[in-house]
Amino acid sequence: MIARLEIDLGAIRRNVAALGATIAPARYAAVVKADAYGHGLVEVARALALDVAMLCVYRIEEAVAIRDAGLPTPILILGPIETRDLTAAVRARAAIALWSTGAFSRDLARVARATGLRANVHAKIDTGVTRLGLDPPVAPAALVRYLDDDALEVRGAFTHLAAAEELESSYTSEQLARFDAATAPSRERFAARGIVRHAAASAAAMLYPHARLDLVRAGIATYGIWPSQATRDAAPTTLALEPALAWRTQLVVVRDVEAGRSVGYGCAFVTSRPSRIGVLPIGYAEGLPRALSGTGTVLVRGIRVPVVGRICMNMAFVDVTDVPQVATGDTVTLIGRDGTEAIGANELAAQAGTIGYELVARLPADVPRVYAGRDANAAIASATSIVRS
Ligand SMILES: *Cc1c(COP(=O)(O)O)cnc(C)c1O
């Protein structure tokens, strides 16, 4: 074993149930972009297929992978789509985030007519992230055009919030007010057609009840990782999330060395006492941030041990002098629980100067993933026949 990720699909489903209860009657869209935040797109999508109202992906390929797995859940593609991929998106019955006032919406309508299907869309309105979306002044008229276009099936309208982790800020309320104003002229048609409005990602879903609207798009919370410590401190105390992922490797070598011995590139660490150095078979190429060099801690036999020396491309070092009976082959836990100790994704990320989001999103796709809690989803097999109806 070089490294493996252990993923508890049961924990993911319990997180959806817990946050889902908090946000009800708003519905739950699980965000599964970035390989389900490193947890594995298809496995997570399958586990949640019947539990959530929608799965949000970033790329067309992710939508196609979910359909190829036979899953019927509504999908929204959040990111940009190239014109040449529109046919695949329409055929996959994946909703497209639409913010075009020009050629793209005409291309989409043309492709929809050519396939004989209406293109599902969620209109995207930019209320203050300055990323993707219609500008508020043009949004009301664009919405009416989308609603009038019989090649399009408008399923939703949404915006994204910039400062939902900041409780002190009025920015979230200002964004929601802009979203309200942009969608107000179409309100009756929205109601008549069951068109949903959504704005909140995980943090806003937890902290701002008035941001929940009809649906929330929860990514990080789905995986039991808090968006930030501030969010965790401010969230309802009844909301319990379980981390679903453990990242483990092993000591491939344990070496006894004398005091004054240099370890690793640049002689960045020199032992100050007779020491036991453990060598890990993973480095930054395997997703271990180089910024953890000399600052990170990991678990060996339930004990926190420091990462010493510079993290190499494929290897790293820990000081295991204080771990009784430490031996070659011992498991090393980078994220997860070992005995009474646990290291969360946010904790490891903070030691590397980043956030849990980045750490899990960059876990390489080729690290073997081992799943627990899959059996509970056997029912899905019989539900897959409704796909592509
Ligand atoms: C990634 C993303 C989300 C999910 O954000 P979390 O903070 O992980 O819940 C929601 N909406 C959009 C548009 C996103 O890009």
Q: What is the pLDDT of residues 41-79, one digit of tens each?
A: 999 999 999 999 999 999 999 999 999 999 999 999 999
Q: DSSP 3-state assignment of 69?
A: coil
CB-ligand 1 contact for 160 (6 Å cutoff): yes
146, 223, 265, 371: the catalytic one is 265
- Return the pLDDT at 375: 72
33, 37, 146, 284: the catalytic one is 33
Q: What is the pTM of this model?
A: 0.95
Structure letter (DSSP) for residue 58: S
Residue labelled with tokens 């074993």:
1
Residue labelled with tokens 């509504």:
74
What does the alpha-carbon distance between residue 387 and residue 36 come to, in Å, rounded to a whole number? Answer: 21
Residue 357, token pair as written in the block: 């989001």
- Return the pLDDT at 380: 53
265 carries an active-site annotation: yes
What does the alpha-carbon distance between residue 155 and residue 144 come to, in Å, rounded to a whole number? Answer: 13
Which of 88, 95, 91 has its CA nearest to residue 124?
95
CB-ligand 1 contact for 183 (6 Å cutoff): no
How far, in Å, is the centroid of ligand 1 from the Cα of 172?
15
Residue 28, token pair as written in the block: 């739950």
CB-ligand 1 contact for 124 (6 Å cutoff): no
Q: Maximum CA pair distance of the chain? A: 78
Q: Do the beta carbons of residue 112 and residue 118 sit within 8 Å?
A: yes
Q: Which of 35, 217, 222, 231 to mutate to test the pocket of ligand 1 (most atoms within 8 A of CB)?
A: 217
How far, in Å, is the centroid of ligand 1 from the Cα of 217?
6
Q: Which of 12, 31, 33 to mutate to test the pocket of ligand 1 (most atoms within 8 A of CB)?
A: 31
Ligand 1 closest atom vs CA 160:
13
- Report, as ranges of residue numbers, the positions in the chain whose pLDDT lies below 70: 376-389
How far, in Å, is the centroid of ligand 1 from the Cα of 58?
10
SS percent in the chain: helix, strand, coil, step 5: 35, 25, 40
